[in-house]
Amino acid sequence: MELTGKHSNIMLVNTETNIIVDCIKRVPEHVSHVRQVLPNIPYSEQPMLKSNLFDIDFPKFMEEINKENKDQQIFKFLYTKYQGISPTIAREILVRANLFEDIYFSELDHDQMYTLWQTIDWLRKLVTHHKFQPKYHI
């Protein structure tokens, strides 16, 4: 079973041959040129198209922003650039950094940028040290 947001799928794979026996969502080549998911073809893991937030530090974060993203909304940058950051988590990061959802990187001074990074780092530490509890609302 692959739980990957909107592209989640359930597949039955023969572990001896690594061949897909069947799957809930069939993905032929005309739907995805990157990865096909069909019966009777070898299973391959979904490629990672986003960066891992745990592999960067503040200088690398600043480098990624300055490279091509200065005129991008912070909210959108966070959830499109990094694995595991959903729009909801991106909003939470901005709220905790005392920033508005529609703010752009170009509008931040160095102190605000560092506060944003500290908030991201705080979240990374929560996850790394398992200091969180999922909440379910029905």
Record the pTM.
0.66
User: What is 53-128's CATH number?
Assistant: 1.10.8.50
**What does the pLDDT read at residue 72?**
85
Q: Digits of tens for pLDDT over the chain (138 positions)?
A: 666 666 778 889 999 999 999 999 999 999 888 889 999 999 988 777 788 888 999 999 888 888 877 788 999 999 888 888 889 999 999 999 999 999 998 899 989 999 999 999 999 999 888 887 777 777
* DSSP 3-state of 57: coil
Query: Is the separation of the CB atoms in 29 and 41 below 8 Å?
Result: no
Q: Residue 22's beta-bridge partner residues?
A: 12
**What does the pLDDT read at residue 132?**
76
Residue spans in the chain of domains classed CATH 1.10.8.50: 53-128
Q: How far apart are CA 101 and CA 93, in angstroms?
A: 10
